[in-house]
């Protein structure tokens, strides 16, 4: 009897193993079939073998979900009536299965990325209310912020909250809206810095004279694309908040909340930053917030704001001391670059062109891909056209230098390329024409500028 029991158990195990092996083989075959069809966007042909793999071997390969998303989106797009609802529900279910079966990739948590894709799909295909879309974005942000990196998704995360705010949704207060803006802006800055670090490696390689490999060029293209996306969506984000964060709104809000938050360095830093960006820094509240921040937690930002205050009071030497303290307090080279650039802007606003350029160049020393520093230097040159050169031709020749500097901005930062080229063309339009060069007879010669620029430019050849 015992022998018979053992035999039956062995037979069961063997048959189960055979079925499992056959299932695995079938799944692998179907995986290959649907992947080939999906690659060429033949989603109708891919559906049946894909659905079979999804049902029988959900943990076989991540392609079940990456290609599955495309397959179901195609079906949803072409569906009508009740079928459309069924396809929509199936697509939502796929994201949940994705998280269940492949929550990570190469050891990295991907839940934030998957949930953000789900929220974006809900938004694109009008699946669910604005509150439900926001809740899904928020789940992505709070559960796994590290993999929630898509610029469009981050922008829409804030945008849906803003829609809820404008609709008067319960709990969506001005304080929460501004806090969320700051959080998302900081996330954009973090992702932008990650890209800048990768891009700077390639820029330094180029400048050293080493040719870029095929892989380098491929990565450069990817970095440029992502950089442009961050620039576009961050600009859109700022456009939304600019309508809400006027000085008329910020000052009463921060005045009301100051006592409660005067020992919160994060709140103080964000409040000071928002007031500075909206030009509310002339209000006494800005002084109160900045001094409280520097007393509580001296930082590069607090020292920078104190520099601004002293600049406004006409205390130039004291302002410079705080600006230098701001730089010394910052240890991260990319944050140091941003601090140096902000200081350069302050000197530019006060007409101290040479000092502004000096700080901008220091910023570029820490972050070569900081294109806006090149644009700022270009604008300093262009504004000096009437002050440099002995003749009218030489004065206008400054615009060639400005144009060259502007184009450099677009070269190192793809997000600025369109604006940089447009700016360069504008400068070139003000420079001497071919007729002027012919008349002067100085094509190919070098013009030196003895003003603060202390540089030179070569007259284009005809």
Q: Average pLDDT, stretch 43-62?
A: 96
339 and 304 within one domain? yes
417 shares a domain with 334: yes
On whether both 445 and 336 belong to a single domain, the answer is yes
Helix, strand, coil % over all residues of the chain, rounded to 5: 75, 0, 20
CA 417 – CA 406 distance, rounded (Å): 9
Can you give the pLDDT at residue 82? 85
Say what the pLDDT of residue 9 is.
45
Determine the Cα–Cα distance for residues 229 and 361; give it in Å rounded to an integer. 26
Q: Is residue 159 part of a domain?
A: yes
Indicate whether 349 pLDDT > 70: yes
Boundary residue ending a domain (297, 318, 339)? 297
Looking at residue 22, what is its pLDDT? 61
Rounded CA gap, 151 and 202, in Å?
A: 23
Q: Are 267 and 206 in a shared domain?
A: no
Q: How many helices (H) and strands (E) would you count in the chain?
A: 20, 4
H/E stretch holding 41 reads none
Residue showing tokens 């520093």: 373
Q: Is residue 399 part of a domain?
A: yes
Averaged pLDDT, 259-268:
95
The domain in which residue 287 lies consists of 246-297
pLDDT band at 11 (very low <50, low <70, confident <90, very high): very low
397 and 318 together in one domain:
yes
CA dist 17 and 370 (Å) reads 60
Pairing of strands 108-109, 104-105: antiparallel
pLDDT of 258 over the 60 cut: yes
Domain holding 429: CATH number?
A: 1.25.40.10
* pLDDT tens per residue, range 287-306: 999 999 999 999 999 999 99
CB atoms within 10 A of CB 332: 12
456 DSSP 8-state letter: E
Taking residues 128-137, report their average pLDDT.
97
pLDDT, tens digit (0-9, with 9 covering 90-100), for 201-244: 999 998 899 999 999 999 999 999 999 999 999 999 999 999 89
The answer to whether position 63 is within a domain reads no
Q: What is the mean pLDDT of the chain?
A: 92
Kindly tell me if the per-residue pLDDT of 8 is higher than 60.
no
User: In this structure, are 289 and 382 located in the same domain?
Assistant: no
Convert the pLDDT of each residue in 390-434 to its tens digit. 899 999 999 999 999 999 999 999 999 999 999 999 999 999 999
**How far is Cα 150 from Cα 226, in angstroms, rounded to an integer?**
9
Report the alpha-carbon distance of residue 421 to residue 21 in Å, rounded: 61
Query: Is residue 290, in this structure, part of any structural domain at all?
Result: yes
Of 244, 265, 287, which marks where a domain is finished?
A: 244
Q: Inform me whether the pLDDT recorded for 2 exceeds 60.
A: no
- Please indicate whether residue 380 or residue 18 has the higher confidence score (pLDDT): 380
pLDDT at 36 over 70: yes
Whole-angstrom distance, CA of residue 97 vs CA of residue 89: 12
> Which is more confident, 328 or 14?
328
Give the 3-state secondary structure of residue 377: helix
- Rounded to whole angstroms, the Cα distance separating 237 from 186 reads 12
Q: Same domain for 251 and 390? A: no
What mean pLDDT is predicted for residues 157-162?
A: 98
Q: Is residue 22, in this structure, part of any structural domain at all?
A: no
Distance from C-alpha of 111 to C-alpha of 102, rounded to nearest angstrom: 9
Nearest to 140 by CA among 110, 177, 108: 110
**CA distance readout (Å), 152 to 50, 116, 178:** 29, 10, 19
DSSP H or E segment with residue 292: helix 284-296
| Number of domains making up the chain | 3
pLDDT for the residue 263: 96
Distance CA 416, CA 375 (A): 9
Alpha carbons 64 and 50: distance in angstroms, whole number: 7
The Cα 98–Cα 117 span in angstroms is 11
User: Do the strands 456-458 and 446-448 form a parallel or antiparallel pair, or are they unpaired?
Assistant: antiparallel
Helix (H, G, I), strand (E, B), or coil: what is residue 67?
helix
Residues in the chain: 462
Residue 238 and residue 253 in one domain: no
Cβ neighbours of residue 169 closer than 8 Å, sequence gap 6 or more: 131
250 with 316, same domain: the answer is no
- 38 pLDDT above the threshold of 50: yes
197's tokens: 């670090």
Report the SS3 class of residue 57: coil
Q: Same structural domain for residues 150 and 227?
A: yes
**366 and 433 inside one domain:** yes
Q: What does residue 146 show for φ and ψ, rounded to 5 degrees?
A: -65, -40
Confidence bin at 6 (pLDDT 50/70/90): low
Looking at residue 15, its pLDDT comes to 44
**pLDDT value, residue 312:** 87
Mark whether 307 and 451 lie in a shared domain.
Answer: yes
Q: What is the pLDDT of residue 81?
A: 85
**Residue 268 included in any domain:** yes
Q: Is 93 inside any structural domain?
A: no
Task: Evaluate whether residue 78 is within a structural domain.
Answer: no
């Amino acid at each position: 009897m015992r022998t018979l029991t053992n035999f039956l158990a062995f037979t069961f195990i063997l048959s189960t193993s055979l079925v499992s092996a056959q299932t695995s083989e079938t799944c692998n075959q179907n995986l290959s079939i649907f992947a080939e069809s999906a690659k060429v966007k033949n989603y109708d042909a891919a559906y049946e073998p894909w659905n079979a793999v999804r049902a029988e071997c959900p943990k076989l390969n991540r392609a079940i979900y990456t290609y599955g998303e495309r397959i179901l989106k195609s079906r949803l797009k072409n569906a009508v009536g009740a079928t459309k609802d069924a396809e929509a529900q199936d697509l939502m279910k796929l994201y949940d299965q994705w998280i269940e079966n492949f929550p990570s990739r190469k050891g990295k948590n991907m839940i934030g990325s998957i949930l953000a894709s789900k929220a974006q799909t809900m938004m694109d295909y009008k699946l669910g209310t604005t509150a439900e879309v926001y809740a899904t974005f928020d789940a992505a942000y709070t559960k796994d912020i590290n993999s929630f990196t898509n610029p469009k998704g981050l922008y829409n995360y804030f945008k849906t909250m803003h829609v809820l705010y404008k609709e008067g949704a319960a709990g969506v207060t001005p304080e929460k809206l501004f806090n969320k803006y700051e959080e998302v802006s900081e996330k954009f800055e973090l992702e932008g810095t990650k890209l800048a670090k990768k891009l700077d490696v390639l820029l330094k390689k180029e400048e050293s004279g080493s040719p870029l490999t095929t892989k380098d060029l491929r990565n450069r293209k990817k970095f440029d694309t992502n950089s442009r996306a961050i620039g576009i969506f961050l600009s859109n984000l700022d456009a939304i908040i600019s309508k809400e964060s006027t000085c008329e709104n910020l000052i009463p809000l921060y005045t009301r909340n100051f006592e409660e938050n005067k020992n919160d360095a994060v709140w103080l830093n964000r409040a000071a930053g928002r007031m500075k960006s909206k030009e509310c820094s002339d209000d006494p509240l800005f002084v109160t917030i900045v001094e409280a921040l520097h007393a509580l937690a001296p930082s590069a930002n607090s020292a920078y704001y104190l520099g601004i205050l002293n600049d406004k009071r006409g205390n130039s030497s004291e302002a410079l001391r705080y600006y230098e303290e701001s730089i010394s307090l910052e240890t991260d080279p990319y944050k140091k670059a941003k601090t140096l650039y902000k200081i350069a802007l302050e000197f530019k606003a006060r007409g101290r062109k040479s000092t502004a350029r000096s700080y901008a160049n220091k910023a570029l020393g820490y972050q070569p891909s900081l294109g806006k520093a090149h644009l700022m230097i270009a604008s300093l040159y262009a504004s000096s056209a009437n002050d440099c050169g002995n003749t009218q031709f030489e004065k206008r020749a400054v615009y060639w230098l400005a144009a060259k500097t502007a184009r450099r901005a677009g070269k190192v930062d793809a997000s600025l390329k369109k604006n940089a080229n447009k700016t360069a063309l504008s400068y070139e339009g003000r420079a001497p024409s071919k007729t002027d060069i012919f008349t002067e007879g100085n094509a190919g010669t070098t013009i030196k500028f003895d003003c603060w620029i202390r540089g030179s430019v070569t007259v284009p050849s005809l």
